[in-house]
Amino acid sequence: MSDDIRRVFVLNVGSSSIKYRVVDLETGEALAEGLVERIGVRGSGVPDHHAAIVQVLDELRDVPIDAVGHRVVHGGTRFVQSTVIDDDVEREIGALADLAPLHNPPALAGIRAARAALPDLPHVAVFDTAFHATISPAARDYAIDAEVAARTRIRRFGFHGTSHRYVSRTAAELLGRAGDPELKLVVLHLGNGASATAVQGGRSVDTSMGMTPLEGLVMGTRSGDIDPAIPLYLAREHGYTTAQLDELLNKRSGLLGLAGRSDMRELVSAADAGDMQAAHALDVYVHRLRHYIGAYAAVLGGIDALVFTAGVGENADDIRRRAVAGLGFLGLAIDPARNAVRSREPRIISPDGAATAVLVVPTEEELEIARETRAAATR
């Protein structure tokens, strides 16, 4: 059956948008791609996700499709690998909505619309959390009452798993160590959302995002790690509601909270021009990066390569330079000329002979979803 699945229709569905790409797995190229926005907005002409899928398929009527891959953020504890979708899987994805209320419901709407429009093709759910199903109980569990944690499903799940899987595999290939069970990587997915993952032999060992994508690194608008008593203090002493706390920590924190802007290019330019708030925000951001690099080197018992990916990781050479500065004791160093290169190709930016490699690997989540779709549909 694998020979029959070459062209995969990849869907990334949001509450009011659908991003799509048809990937040719033989070449890795996009046969078609696009974005439908303002779904359900009055006057948009796209009243719901079903209408959006119909619109997209009309645009793709001359493009062959062999299978459909759906990005789903949360797989809970049941879905630890990409899974062919049937009615039971649909119900389970819906039941996980409380763990990802902004992401799973629109993904489910897209799944239902696409299955209705393309009933004869295999549909596969590719879960962001699945790659992190291999982290140990010691890394997975929070030190709270075990009965409460079990009853309420509180544990570390991790996110950005599709990106971390693709990038760690590509990094291993670039280093000539594909399939090496001893290869130890720290992967930094740095976009508006950001996460770090310790990877050994292609398996996630630990990751910075937790039960939700709020934990871990400083992000564009999310706080990352904070003292867990801070929300309690704000609620008790200053009257914050849960909705206000959610907005504060997810939408008004991180780089935006520290410096009034979340775009990394603007922050670096402002800091270079003498803006002290911007400079401080970058200091906090880089301090957290270095914290996790060191922590994951300890978790892994050493590090063979540090890998940067996603929008900031791929393009912000100054952030890469600052993150590695002072980490020579881990064998990390950056070649300035290599670091300054802009490219969509995976590349090594550490000096020749460096004890620990530093890599930039552009992420290709749609390609990885397509690969996972074919693998799941042919298992």
54-69: per-residue pLDDT in tens?
Answer: 999 999 999 999 999 9
Euclidean distance between CA atoms 178 and 181, whole angstroms? 9
Residue 58 catalytic?
no
Q: How many CB atoms lie within 10 A of CB 333?
A: 18
Position 160 confidence tier, pLDDT thresholds 50, 70, 90: very high
Exactly one of 128, 275, 304, 317 is catalytic; name it. Answer: 128
Domains of the chain, start order: 2-127 (3.30.420.40), 177-365 (3.30.420.40)
261-304: per-residue pLDDT in tens?
Answer: 999 999 999 999 999 999 999 999 999 999 999 999 999 999 99
Question: Taking the C-alpha atoms of 282, 284, 290 and 292 in order, what is their torsion angle to the nearest 10 degrees?
Answer: -130
Predicted TM-score (pTM) of the model is 0.94
Give the 3-state secondary structure of residue 369. Answer: helix
Nearest alpha-carbon partner for 83 in 49, 130, 117, 50: 130
